Structure 1
Amino acid sequence: MFKKLTKCIVNQMDPSKEFVPVESIADNEHFRPLYLLKKKSKPKNLFHPAPYYQRTGFTLDHVLLPGGDGTSIESIHEDSSPFTLTKTCADQADGGLSISVDPANVELKGGASTSKEFSITPQKKSISLDSLEALRRERGINTEHSFIRQLRKTNIRLFVVTEILEASEEAVYKESTKANGGFKIKLYATFCAQSTREDKQSIVIPKGCTLAFRTIPIQIRDGAWDLDHFPAEAVRKAAYVADGPSQGNLGVVLTEVKYSCRIFPELSPDQLLIVLNTIKAVMGDNNLLQELSHKMEEISEQNDGYELKSESPELQALFSTLQHFPRGDLLLLAEGITYVLDALHELMEDQLLLLLESLERKIVSQQLKLVGNLLKHDLNKGKETFFVDAGLLFPHAEDQELTIALVELSGVQLQEDGSAVPTDQPFEAVAALFVALYALSLLSGSE
């Protein structure tokens, strides 16, 4: 819920997306001005346009040599006047879902409504670049600090937080989902009931909580540090192009996913199966997903190689296989797996369950075509009805309703006649769903 709120705030007040939403309320205090962050080696992508950062637990003050007067650098903060953001929205959808579950066949029909509500007063706090430049001339890096010593052994890029949005007052974010007859709850029979259910969630945002932040790269070498005012951005290779110039947003997403997953077609059938089984395992266990993400990121961060081990048998089969890969291929495969895991992380838990069910039904490739058709339209244009190719809809009611539920959870209401209505600027969510379907289709050999 906190991630939804901070993304919404950034979308409302920062269309240029220079601020990065904080994704976990538990980590918000590690994204304060002057805190040092590690930028993960993976590049930004279409379904998560903000850079990926990880907290270090240290501030710039921690790793600098003492100043001449012993004054703390916390005093160079600058505050702006607070302002209030308020949003209330509600959506209504009707439909039904029929899922065959051994030993029972359960029919679910009804409607669903969702609502979101918040009023929050953010305030900017910042560190001027002039102040940082003066600090750079005055104080050098403590090369004996354990964090600095370990940093030399890695390819990790370091950033310092220069500006944040924080909650100047306590606020509450509320979200409600009301379902009749089991629609849009857990979509497996064991979690459904033939009744009305209302799921209400709320989260309290404490005063002083960091909501979003901006950074600048810093370079550390030979006991000195410098600000990188013109960082270079990674460029995607143009060789991986979409199938035709008229694909619109679909062509852009295809370019990215083909490039990021370019190692998969080179794997043997046995290797593809191992990767697929691992991906399926983490889709049903968030702890495994986090562990696999962490292990894949560490591969590219270590200069001297990395030994892969896990106490989870679901991951060990993959790790044992990767130990025999040449370094170049290992890096490409770690990049591809990380990209897929990032897409899965953007999806809801119910969507992951529906994707597993779709794999069992062998309808992933058809769903991929349907979601690709959605991406040909401007999903962030507003709540305007458009139509998808009717030939992409499923002849079997169970497959069709399962797919309608899957798409709706990404913010597009899709009806049986092929009409579709975006509910809340869902391009990023639909792009993440497309990437997940593309990877599952490729790994399962059904593309």
Structure 2
Amino acid sequence: MTMFENVTRALARQLNPGGDLIPLDSLIDFKRFYPLCLVLRKRKRTLFWGARYVHTDYTLLDVLEPGSSPAEPTASGNFCFKNVLDARVEGKVDMPKTVKVTGTAGLSQNSTLEVQTLSVAPKALESLQKERKLAEEHPFLKEMRDQGENLYMVMEVVETVQEVTLERAGKAEGCFSLPFFAPLGLQGSVNHKETVTIPKGCVLAFRVRQLMVNGKDEWDIPHICDDNMQTFPPGGRVPDGGLFVCPTYCSIGEAHEDFQALKEEVQRETQEVKKLNRVGQNSLLSSLSKLLGKKKELQDLELLLEGALDKGHEVTLEAFPKDVLLSKDTKEAVLYFLGALTELSEAQQKLLVKSVEKKILPVQLKLVESTMEQNFRQDREGVFPLQPDLLSSLGEEELTLTEALIGLSGLEVQRSGPQYTWDPDTLPHLCALYAGLSFLHLLTKAS
């Protein structure tokens, strides 16, 4: 996970655990998530790992008739957020594509942020609604209406008060064995350091509410909403009744009672993917293997599938035979799993490709499933025993790969015991990993 992504997720968990504060995952996009910005929510949303949003390059003011400007967003509450990571590992450490170290390795990350919230004042929004109508002929609105998209407006953000530089440093020291000079045992140390500067006024997390169009030029940003509500409802009127607080980023414990609900949700989607013939599943696996580890390209594929669903177009992926087409239900299922995979870091995605090559997905899936079955509703940290047979079939390299894959989701597995350290904050990441493993495991069965 990038330093920026790591910090924004930790910030959202600390300021609003289990709530609707959505961490921003891309530093380059922060200017597109200010209050009044319009964003799109990804399809195939799941309560297990939250909703994700993409920018549109438009604000609410852009799609309204000309008129007075609303009051500036209201600033409130300065918070000081400190994120410290200090990890040290002793023993044999594998550093992919470089060296193997027998000795010690450490990683430290220290970040202190001063942040504040900016929000659209309710009175300012009410005044704007009375004074300025919707520009019904606006090309962007017409496009969104034709595609049946739902639009959301950024209502509140958490932003930095001062510019800050984040730093992450790693060090390994001991005996190094280089791939091409295996017999050589070289003593020494390797230092790694990376920094990123976050500018003043950078959005780190945000909240949204749905934009509703009622008639030709009437609009509203309701306080409550329903997942079935549409920004552009058929007939031009907002339906009455059946409303509840909109769970844009639900906590797992509140959304579902147990792991079985997630398991059933994943199984429903895998059944749709199973409708692809053997050639289609193989081709899909081949295409994904080339995209995993390239988060931007994976997200572009999401947008491609979304566009195809909106317009009723067929989708042909790289290495996909032209006579193998994705049905609407299969597209939606693939989109569901792409959402899970893009929740993972690029490092995890690359580790999944390695796991496919080494054919250890079934063991990893069983390990994650067993852990979540026992702790899905566990709301406290703790150390728990691990079934020895879950690790016994893995060789040293496969075990190290598995520990890294799961560890990057926040689940620390210790061979001694064996045991693992449970942290309830890791649950959304583990849910996404479980779905990703299930999806890739299904596709490998066809190869």
| TM-score, with structure 2 as normaliser | 0.81
Counterpart of 1:260 in structure 2: which amino acid? E
- 1:384 aligns with one of 379, 382, 385: 382
Q: How does 1:4-403 map onto structure 2 within 5 Å?
A: 4-46=6-48, 48-49=49-50, 51-67=51-67, 71-73=68-70, 75-96=71-92, 109-180=102-173, 196-220=189-213, 221-233=215-227, 250-300=259-309, 302=310, 304-308=311-315, 315-318=317-320, 320-321=322-323, 324-325=325-326, 330-378=327-375, 384-395=382-393, 396-403=395-402
Aligned partner of residue 333 in structure 2, secondary structure: helix
Q: Is the 8 A contact 2:259 2:373 kept in 1?
A: yes
Q: Is the 8 A contact 2:282 2:446 kept in 1?
A: no
Aligned partner of residue 263 in structure 1, secondary structure: helix
1:263: Cα distance to partner?
0.5
Would the alpha carbon gap of residues 3 and 382 (structure 1) be closer, same or farther in structure 2, given more than 3 Å must change?
same
- Cα distance in structure 1, aligned partners of 2:175 and 2:320: 37
Deviation readout 1:162-217 (Å, 9 max, x if unpaired): 2111111112222233344699xxxx959x99653332222211111111111211
- Cα distance in structure 1, aligned partners of 2:347 and 2:223: 42
- Cα distance in structure 2, aligned partners of 1:388 and 1:248: 23
Task: Give the number of equivalent residue pairs.
Answer: 410
- Cα distance in structure 1, aligned partners of 2:47 and 2:278: 28
Would the alpha carbon gap of residues 419 and 234 (structure 1) be closer, same or farther in structure 2, given more than 3 Å must change?
farther
- Cα distance in structure 2, aligned partners of 1:32 and 1:76: 11
- Cα distance in structure 1, aligned partners of 2:148 and 2:443: 30
Counterpart of 2:81 in structure 1: which amino acid? L
1:446: Cα distance to partner?
7.9
Q: Is the 8 A contact 1:96 1:401 kept in 2?
A: no
Counterpart of 2:385 in structure 1: which amino acid? F
Q: Is the 8 A contact 2:293 2:347 kept in 1?
A: no
| TM-score, with structure 1 as normaliser | 0.81
Aligned partner of residue 271 in structure 2, secondary structure: coil
Aligned partner of residue 336 in structure 1, secondary structure: helix
Counterpart of 2:59 in structure 1: which amino acid? T
Deviation readout 1:227-249 (Å, 9 max, x if unpaired): 233211369xxxxxxxxxxx985
Counterpart of 1:175 in structure 2: which amino acid? R
Corresponding residue for residue 241 of structure 2:
none
Q: Is the 8 A contact 2:45 2:336 kept in 1?
A: no
1:138: Cα distance to partner?
1.8
- Cα distance in structure 1, aligned partners of 2:429 and 2:268: 20
Q: Is the 8 A contact 2:94 2:100 kept in 1?
A: yes
Counterpart of 2:404 in structure 1: which amino acid? A
Would the alpha carbon gap of residues 96 and 428 (structure 1) be closer, same or farther in structure 2, given more than 3 Å must change?
farther
Deviation readout 1:241-268 (Å, 9 max, x if unpaired): xxxxxx9854343133223333022222
- Cα distance in structure 1, aligned partners of 2:56 and 2:335: 20
Deviation readout 1:40-76 (Å, 9 max, x if unpaired): 2231342x32x21111111111111122xxx322x24
Q: Is the 8 A contact 1:284 1:353 kept in 2?
A: yes
- Once the two structures are overlaid, the 10-residue window that deviates more, 348-357 or 13-22, is 348-357
Q: State the Cα RMSD in Å.
A: 3.3
